[in-house]
Each structure stands twice: as C-alpha cells, then as structure tokens.
A and B are shown apart, each in its own frame.
Chain A
Amino acid sequence: MMRDLSLHVLDLIENSIRAGATRIWITLQEHPALDRMEIVVEDNGCGFEVSPERAEDPFYTTKEDKHTGLGLSLLKAAAELTGGGMRIGESELGGAKVEVWMGLGHVDRNPLGDLAAALSCMVCTHPEIEIGCKIAVGSSVRVVQSSNVKAQLPEGERIGLAVARRVSQEIKRALADLGAQQ
C-alpha cells in the first residue's frame, strides 16, 4: 500500500515515462465546499492499449516478465475507501489520463504527502520531459511548469538540480498560499 497520494502520483508519472511521454500534467483540485479532492495525471504518451477494466486489473501488466500490475488497482482502492473512484481514458494531450476523486475530509483518505518532492525529483531525473502541475483550491489556481521555471533561471543554472529545487519551492508555495489540505 502507498502511504501518501503523492507516491501514487509518482507511480503514475513513471507509467507515463514508460509510455514514452514528453509532456506530463498533474492536476490537484480541492473543492472544500463539496468535500471533494481530485487528482488527474495525463500525458502525451502511447496511451492505454487495453480497455479501462483490463488496465485496472491487478493481474494485468504490460511487462512480460511480471504477472501483476498493482499501481492502478491500489490507487482505485485508495479512492474507493473514501467514497470516491477512478476513471481512466484518453487525454487531450494525446496519451493516457488517470482521474481519481475522493472525499477530501474523509478519515480514510491518505495524506497528500510531499507532492513537491515527488514532482521535483522527476523534473531533476528526466529533464527532457515537460512536467506541469496545476493546483486549485476552490476557484483559486496556481500553475507550476518545469519549462517556465527553467526559462526563469540564469543561463548557467538551468541544470536539473537547480530547476528541480525551484519547482519544489514553487509547488510548496502554491500549496501553502492556496491553503491546500494535506
């Protein structure tokens, strides 16, 4: 079991990278008035090659030497524990889209965890991939995008670690400014 939602996000990003994505977008939306949290991870990779039902099957994997594919089924279970659910399909970016919703204040909702660390480590280790994150609480929205962060840094500092640190800071600031529930 994954203890934090940010670890599930990390797992979905890894799936996107394996699917050949060059653009990955993460959306975290909290609706306090509706007591609802939504997380969407989408990409421009090759998408799902099987039906959603098949992809969610814990005994289905695209890896030939394995017999289980637990990531999506664990995420679905985590969402359903809170009265939520999961939907997978096609993204407007051209690849896969995984969408989960859950009860924001539900006692069984996993904590968000360190989303800033999860995203920044992927920015650092995969500088060739454009990673964007939209954080919204109610109608207030902040967007952090790796390419924008990189462009803001001085020419000599546009290396993975420096970009990742800045991405981490901006995500932490966005979460704090918006008062996102952890």
Chain B
Amino acid sequence: MSDDKKITSVEKLRELKSRVKREISLREDGYQACVTVHMGTCGIASGAPEVLDAVLDELEFSGRTDIRVTTSGCIGVCSREPVMTVELLDEKKVLYGDLDPDKARQVFRDHVLEGKVVPRYVVTLGDGA
C-alpha cells in the first residue's frame, strides 16, 4: 500500500468510510450517477453554493431520480475552487474545477446526463478525483 493510502488518522478512516459507503449505496440504491459539490470554507467563499444551486436546478429540470447530488468538504485543491466530482456508475470519477453556475450546468448536461466528459474544466481523472 502506498503511503498516501495508509490510514494514519481517525480523520482518514472517516473519509474512507464515507467514500466506501457512498460507492456501495450508489449501486445498492439504484443511482446511476453521483455529483458531489465540495463545500469546504474555500469552496463556499469561492461560489460553491451558487454551483450547487445550478446543479440542483438542472437535476429538477431533468426529472431524473437516479442521480444523487451531495456535498462534502474541501479536498485540498483550494486554488481551483469551486470544484465538483462527477461519478457515473462503473466509470472513473472526474473532478471539475474553476466552476461557475454556467459551467456546472454544462458539466451536468454533457457529462451527467449524456456521459460525455467536458475536458476543458477537468482537474483530475480517476482516483485523484
């Protein structure tokens, strides 16, 4: 196991528990996608609430009930806030950054609804997301 994956604190254990729980329930609860808007202090101060509002608006407009939208804390990419993670069932997670409501709407429509990643706003792909 690489050093960055070692559980060295209660905090890391909580994060792991929360991530695994989310992944399991995504499948078990019948969700096809999960959108996580990161709402640490840095995210909130940078406009994450407006991004979340836009995503919830798009979710309502889509009429889809198999998409989960949730929030979590800062993931350490403060300079790219507001950021959000998109996870489609059985696909790699994608972290998007430098978002605003319009960009978030585009990511929701193109990636979450259509399955097409929006490269211009991607920060990381895969486990880092």
Residues on A lying within 8 angstroms of B by beta carbon are 1-2, 7, 10-11, 14, 17-18, 20, 62-66, 69-71, 74, 117-118, 121-122, 124-126, 159, 161, 164
User: In chain A, what residue has the closest Cβ to B78?
Assistant: A66
The total number of A-B Cβ pairs within 8 Å is 67
* A117 to B50 Cα, complex, angstroms: 10
User: In chain A, what residue has the closest Cβ to B9?
Assistant: A64
A65 contacts B76, CB within 8 Å? yes
- Shortest Cβ distance from B4 into chain A, in angstroms? 9
A125 contacts B52, CB within 8 Å? yes
Instruction: Return the 6 tightest CB-CB contacts between A and B, nearest first.
Output: A71-B41, A125-B70, A125-B71, A14-B39, A70-B41, A65-B76
A121 contacts B49, CB within 8 Å? yes
B114 in the interface (beta carbon within 8 A): no
Chain B residues with a Cβ closer than 8 Å to the other chain, count: 26
A121 contacts B52, CB within 8 Å? yes
B44 contacts A62, CB within 8 Å? no
A118 contacts B11, CB within 8 Å? no
B45 contacts A66, CB within 8 Å? no
B59 in the interface (beta carbon within 8 A): yes
Q: Is the interface of A mostly helix, strand, loop or mixed?
A: helix
B80 in the interface (beta carbon within 8 A): no
* A1 to B46 Cα, complex, angstroms: 9
* A118 to B71 Cα, complex, angstroms: 12
B91 in the interface (beta carbon within 8 A): no
Give every chain B residue within 8 A of A66 (Cβ-Cβ): 74, 76
B52 contacts A64, CB within 8 Å? no
B2 in the interface (beta carbon within 8 A): no
Give every chain A residue within 8 A of B59 (Cβ-Cβ): 161
- Shortest Cβ distance from B126 into chain A, in angstroms? 18
* A161 to B74 Cα, complex, angstroms: 24
* A17 to B38 Cα, complex, angstroms: 13
Instruction: With A7-B49, A117-B53, A159-B65 given, name 16 new contacts (CB 8 A).
Output: A14-B39, A14-B73, A18-B14, A63-B11, A64-B11, A64-B12, A66-B74, A118-B49, A121-B71, A122-B71, A124-B56, A125-B52, A125-B70, A161-B56, A161-B59, A161-B60
* A159 to B29 Cα, complex, angstroms: 14
As a 0/1 sequence over residues 66 to 80 of chain B, the CB contacts with chain A under 8 angstroms (1 = contact) are: 000111111010000
A64 contacts B8, CB within 8 Å? yes
**Which of B45, B60, B71, B73 is close to A7, meaning CB atoms less than 8 Å apart?**
B45
- Shortest Cβ distance from B64 into chain A, in angstroms? 11
Give every chain B residue within 8 A of A65 (Cβ-Cβ): 76
